[in-house]
């Protein structure tokens, strides 16, 4: 039977965030160890996204927007604006620092933000990779349009498609918009699979689920759109062990996390070339 995971809601400086993973009932879905829905939130001129520089290890971050934009900067020197439909994929590996803000043109006017942020754990053998960054425009992502279904593959492999984003373990992340009555099968019968409803409603094993609900598929083969709407479906091969998650750090070693905390506390992480005047302190 499908399992619904209830999100916890947070207000982060005026930004409404619904956090699903990690959850007390389920720490990971495939390699996905963190799942946040930002917004939808409207900002007045002079307000907006303003996440100061902060570090990561042992994971890849995935930012995918429905509305608005975010200005990404990192310690590798990348500086670009994330737009709806684009994939922003940053692999922290042994350590990276990034910030998430807005351009002057966005922050100086009324604007909205709505999107998803996920963390994807790196396998233990790849946790200390050199950090890297990959930004893929929406037009470069594979898609399917068929019988009132539009489907975009963001990362991984599904339905015969393969995303150009480099990943490190079997996974998939699909953005799906479809008309009422459309039926969607799981892309991999052996993978852990979750559905997050963005808009509309879906039926899974006779139960209905609406916007903002995150559902784990167990023995179910798929779901049906009860209304025309939009969902994200994600998952991957089940992990046999779960890494530790502490603040922004993921590792199979508590000692490695302690080292990362000490490194941030004492300024041993690299800095962002054009955003090094402030940072988020170690909690």
- Unique residue bearing structure tokens 């879906």: 202
- Residue pLDDT, tens place only, 196-234: 999 999 999 999 999 999 999 999 999 999 999 999 999
Radius of gyration of the chain (CA): 18
pLDDT value, residue 281: 97
**7, two tokens:** 């999100």
| 8 Å CB contact between 87 and 53 | no
Q: Could you give the CA distance from residue 234 to residue 225 in angstroms, rounded to a whole number?
A: 17
Question: What's the pLDDT band for 10 if we cut at 50, 70, 90?
Answer: confident
**283, two tokens:** 């909690």
Residue ranges of domains in the chain: 3-236
String of DSSP letters for 24-73: TTBS-BTTEEEEEEEEEEEE-TT-S--EEEEEEBSEEEEEEEEES-EEEE
Whole-number percent of the chain with pLDDT over 90: 97
Q: What CATH code is assigned to 3-236? A: 2.60.120.10
Is residue 140 classed as helix, strand or coil in its secondary structure?
A: helix
CA distances from 141 to 83, 107, 157 (A): 14, 28, 11
- Residue pLDDT, tens place only, 40-90: 999 999 999 999 999 999 999 999 999 999 999 999 999 999 999 999 999
User: 13 pLDDT exceeds 70?
Assistant: no
User: 14 pLDDT exceeds 90?
Assistant: no
Taking residues 256-276, what's their average pLDDT? 98
Sign of CA dihedral 99, 100, 106, 109: negative
pLDDT value, residue 11: 82
pTM, two decimal places: 0.97
Q: Could you give the CA distance from residue 135 to residue 166 in angstroms, rounded to a whole number?
A: 10
b/e string for 145-155 if b means 16 or more Cβ within 10 A?
A: eeeeeebbbbb
């Amino acid at each position: 039977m499908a399992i619904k995971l209830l999100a916890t809601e947070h207000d982060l400086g005026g930004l409404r965030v619904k956090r699903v993973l990690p959850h007390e009932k389920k720490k990971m879905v495939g390699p996905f160890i963190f799942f946040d829905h930002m917004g939808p939130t409207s900002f007045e001129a002079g307000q907006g996204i303003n996440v100061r520089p902060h570090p990561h290890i042992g994971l890849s971050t995935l930012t995918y927007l429905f509305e608005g934009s975010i200005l990404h900067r990192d310690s590798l020197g990348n500086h670009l604006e994330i737009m709806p439909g684009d994939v922003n994929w940053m692999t922290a590996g042994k350590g990276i620092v990034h910030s998430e803000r807005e351009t002057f043109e966005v922050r100086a006017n009324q604007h909205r933000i709505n999107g998803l942020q996920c963390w994807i754990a790196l396998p233990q053998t790849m946790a200390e990779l050199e950090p890297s960054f990959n930004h893929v425009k929406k037009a470069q992502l594979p898609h399917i349009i068929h019988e009132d279904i539009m489907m975009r593959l963001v990362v991984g492999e599904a339905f015969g498609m393969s995303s150009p984003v480099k990943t490190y373990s079997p996974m998939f992340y699909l953005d799906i918009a479809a008309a009422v009555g459309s039926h969607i099968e799981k892309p991999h019968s052996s993978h852990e699979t979750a559905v997050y409803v963005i808009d509309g409603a879906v039926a899974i094993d006779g139960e209905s689920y609406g916007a903002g609900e995150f559902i784990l598929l167990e023995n179910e083969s798929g779901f049906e759109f009860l209304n025309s709407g939009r969902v994200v479906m994600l998952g991957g091969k089940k992990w046999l062990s779960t890494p530790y998650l502490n603040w922004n750090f993921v590792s199979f070693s508590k000692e490695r996390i302690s080292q990362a905390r000490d490194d941030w506390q004492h300024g041993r992480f690299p800095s962002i070339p054009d955003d090094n005047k402030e940072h988020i302190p170690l909690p």
